[in-house]
Amino acid sequence: MSLLVVGSVALDSVETPHARRDDVLGGSAVYFSYAASYFTPPRLVGVVGEDWPKAHTSLLDERGIDTSGLQVQPGGQTFRWRGKYLPNMNDRETLEVHLNVFEHFDPTLPDQYRDSQYVFLANGAPTTQLRVLEQIHRPRLVMADTMDLWINIQTDELRALLKKIDGLVLNDSEAILLTDDENLVRAGKRTLEMGPKFVVIKKGEHGAMFFSRDATYVLPAFPTEEVVDPTGAGDSFAGGMMGYLASENPAEFTPHVLKTAIAYGTLVASFNVEDFSLDRMVSIQRADLDGRMRQYQQMLSL
């Protein structure tokens, strides 16, 4: 089934306690679409500037990602983000953000994308996320991501968005900020009351919590020793999750189906953090994910 992602396409500079990389391929829509491409060929909508290396588009094309919605703005510069990870590799500081062409990103979807059945509104202004949603005819499943900035400065628009989507993914500190509740179980349930049918709270190396009207559960992260660069963990998680759902296109989004999807999201993210940029994901195949799934299932069986 068709899967659409709309979000940032970036050149990231990342510093960890052990190494650094400058101007590498990144952005929420890039991580999401690459992760989803193990399951189904996604459609990507984003914007870049003239400085965008064509080789990056080729890398996405080679995975079957439809990049016809990636607009190159003449005379513009690509969105740039610079971040630094603390020694625990979970917490990070944003050192620089240059929105550049992303500042006025107000996508008009290509006609052939408007029938998309599965839609991911990656982290962005809720006003933009709402406008994208209005352009899609009858999606089966819409999920969105958000961040502290939007919770703080576009609270009303975010509340309006939450009434129109099926699933929200956000991290623990964002859930606390959104609901003003430090207890994550209550925070998850309060987020549900704001409109979505389900909520996934990501807790980095501590896994993910799921909330719907019928079920609450927690899945651990896959324990990996090799955490090189956590950038894109959240987006690759969402990409694995929605890629799986779009490829299965289940009759109903039961808590059980969503649990398998969250498990696949967890596993793609666990590979993604093992190297900078998309480097680790580039080196794996679907069979590697399925191999890790068998280990994960064994780990969880009681």
Comparing CB distances to ligand AMP, the nearer of 66 and 235 is 235
The nearest distance, CB 98 to ligand AMP, in angstroms, is 11
Residue (117 or 269) nearer to ligand AMP, CB: 269
Give 124 or 188: the residue with its C-beta nearer to ligand AMP.
124
49 scored as a contact of ligand AMP (CB under 6 A):
no
Burial 254-275 (b: 16+ CB within 10 A, else e): ebeebebbbbbbbbbbbbbbbb
3-state SS, residue 72:
strand
How far is residue 54 from each of residues 49, 57, 102, 188, measured CA to CA in Å? 11, 5, 18, 41
- Reported as type and span, the H/E element at residue 101 is none
Q: Does the protein bind ligand AMP through residue 235 (CB under 6 A)?
A: yes
Can you tell me which of 12, 66, 174, 229 binds ligand AMP, judged by CB under 6 A?
Answer: 12
Closer Cβ to ligand AMP, 37 or 123, answer by number: 123
Residues 160-189 that bind ligand AMP (CB under 6 A): none
Query: Could you tell me the smallest distance in angstroms from the CB atom of residue 1 to ligand AMP?
Result: 24
Q: Does residue number 234 form part of the binding site for ligand AMP (CB under 6 A)?
A: yes
Closest-CA residue to 56 (of 41, 67, 45, 40): 67
57 binds ligand AMP per the rule CB under 6 A: no
Q: Does position 208 bind ligand AMP by CB under 6 A?
A: no
Q: Does 27 bind ligand AMP (CB under 6 A)?
A: yes
Stretch 96-125: interaction string toward ligand AMP, x if CB under 6 A: ---------------------------xx-
Q: According to the binding rule CB under 6 A, does residue 231 interact with ligand AMP?
A: yes
Nearer to ligand AMP, 2 or 28 (CB): 28
Residue length, the chain? Answer: 302
Residue 272 is a binding residue for ligand AMP (CB under 6 A): no
Q: Which of 3, 4, 8, 132 binds ligand AMP (CB under 6 A)?
A: 8
The tokens for 157 are: 């628009």
CA pair distance 265, 244, nearest whole angstrom: 8
- Dihedral sign, CA of 158, 159, 161, 167? positive
- Beta-sheet strand order (sheet of 141-145): 66-73, 43-49, 3-6, 118-121, 141-145, 167-171, 198-202, 208-212, 216-219
Stretch that binds ligand AMP, among 7-15, 38-46, 179-187, 206-214 (CB under 6 A): 7-15
Is residue 33 within 8 Å of residue 59, measured between CB atoms?
no
Report the nearest approach of ligand AMP to the CB of residue 121 (Å). Answer: 11
Residues in touch with ligand AMP (CB under 6 A): 8, 10, 12, 26-28, 81, 123-124, 231-235
